């Protein structure tokens, strides 16, 4: 029987920065459509792998001079190139020992999840997807921040995730019980240019007995601004696109959404912002012009300053007054 320690050491040798293991019963209460036990009913364990986003990949956006590094090397490369290689190696180890390994890559394919017909009444619609940030908590790798992002004690919000579901019964890590990482400083709320993370509307999420309070995320606002930025924080959008973005950002939480982008902000931005179109064509990923200004950059600055994370640098990240158009 292969041990949890062997798997973790091997995954790190292959290139994972952080590794944790959870048991499948920790998914009790998950909605069917997001419950990975429907993918592998005999699964016993889930192995979580975390891959750092290099802080330097956010530098060009912070300085306002190079926006492509973060979405290419900080998103597409990790999710579509590097993590799958590590998943494959760790999967080989499991299958060489006689256990199935379902390799769960983080891709934009999730946008098409749940669109098929159930193959029988007792099953959810394919493709079943899994909430990656919750799965990372289940693997004991860290906690959910108020921003909705997963925070690890190593990198705070600055990692991407991938998972292996297996029928190997592995010793699970405890749910993270180290010093709390999120202290509700609300920097993520204040610095999100979309105003997408609500300060007032909060949601409680309980995972394996541990409750996290997160801000309600306006997904439309984030989808628009995450890709395109706003007129103040994007050098790449026309006045017409800026006015569509501004109309989305200025809507209240419960207002009916405008239809000036014909209901599909992803297609609208891809068709109307050449920079975003070229990002999709080049590496099949959104442009991420926002550079996660609130949910990653502001949070990371706060967690570094308060020394709550281990990956600390010789110089602070923010060295100048942030630019604004
Ligand atoms: S910025 Fe502050 S409130 Fe937001 S997730 Fe990070 S620590 Fe929590
Ligand atoms: S990606 Fe940008 S728009 Fe979305 S929540 Fe983070 S800071 Fe806000």
Query: Which residues form the domain of 57?
Result: 4-181
Q: How many domains does the chain have?
A: 1
Atom 2 of ligand 1, nearest CA residue: 185
As a three-state string, the secondary structure of 135-188 is HHHHCCCCEECCCCCEEECCCECCEEEEEEEECCCCCCCCCCCCCCCCCCCCHH
> Does some domain include residue 245?
no
Cα 190 to averaged position of ligand 1 atoms, centre (Å): 10
Model confidence, pTM: 0.95
Asked whether 113 and 129 are in contact (CB, 8 A), the reply is yes
Cα 296 to averaged position of ligand 1 atoms, centre (Å): 9
> Does some domain include residue 244?
no
> Does some domain include residue 314?
no
Atom 4 of ligand 1, nearest CA residue: 188
Q: pLDDT tens digits, the chain, 325 residues: what are they?
A: 899 999 999 999 999 999 999 999 999 999 999 999 999 999 999 999 999 999 999 999 999 999 999 999 999 999 999 999 999 999 999 999 999 999 999 976 666 688 899 999 999 999 998 999 999 999 999 999 999 999 999 999 999 999 999 999 999 999 999 999 999 999 999 999 999 999 999 999 999 999 999 999 999 999 999 999 999 999 999 999 999 999 999 987 545 554 456 568 989 999 999 999 999 999 888 899 999 999 999 999 999 999 999 999 999 999 999 999 9
Residue 140: closest CA among 18, 309, 2: 18
Atom 7 of ligand 1, nearest CA residue: 182
> Does some domain include residue 302?
no
Cα 182 to averaged position of ligand 1 atoms, centre (Å): 5
């Amino acid at each position: 029987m292969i041990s949890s320690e062997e798997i973790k050491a091997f995954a790190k040798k292959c290139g994972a920065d952080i590794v944790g293991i959870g048991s499948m019963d920790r998914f009790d209460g998950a909605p069917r459509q997001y419950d990975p036990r429907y993918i592998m009913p005999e699964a016993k364990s889930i192995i979580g792998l975390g891959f750092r986003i290099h802080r330097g990949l956010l530098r060009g956006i912070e300085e306002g001079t190079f926006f492509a590094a973060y979405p290419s090397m900080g998103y597409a490369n990790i999710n579509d190139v590097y993590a799958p290689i590590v998943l494959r190696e760790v999967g080989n180890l499991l299958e060489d020992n006689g256990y199935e390994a379902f390799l769960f890559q983080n891709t934009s394919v999730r946008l098409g999840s749940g669109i098929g017909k159930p193959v029988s009444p007792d099953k959810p619609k394919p493709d079943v997807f899994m909430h990656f940030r919750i799965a990372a908590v289940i693997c004991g790798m860290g906690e959910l921040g108020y921003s909705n992002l997963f925070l690890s004690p190593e990198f705070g919000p600055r990692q991407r995730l991938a998972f292996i579901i297996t029928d190997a019964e592995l010793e699970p890590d405890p749910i993270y019980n180290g010093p709390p990482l999120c202290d509700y400083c609300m920097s993520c709320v204040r610095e999100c240019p979309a105003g997408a993370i609500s300060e007032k509307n909060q949601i409680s999420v309980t995972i394996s007995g541990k409750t996290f309070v997160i801000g309600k995320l306006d997904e439309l606002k984030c989808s628009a601004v995450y890709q395109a930025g706003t007129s103040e924080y994007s050098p790449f959008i026309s006045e017409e696109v800026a006015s569509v973005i501004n109309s989305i950002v200025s809507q209240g939480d419960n207002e009916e959404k405008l239809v000036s982008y014909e209901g599909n902000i992803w297609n609208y931005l891809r068709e109307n912002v050449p920079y975003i179109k070229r990002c999709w064509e080049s590496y099949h990923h959104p442009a991420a012009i926002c550079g996660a200004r609130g949910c990653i950059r502001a949070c990371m600055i706060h967690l570094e300053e308060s020394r709550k994370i281990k990956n600390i640098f010789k110089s602070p990240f923010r060295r100048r007054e942030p630019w604004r158009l």
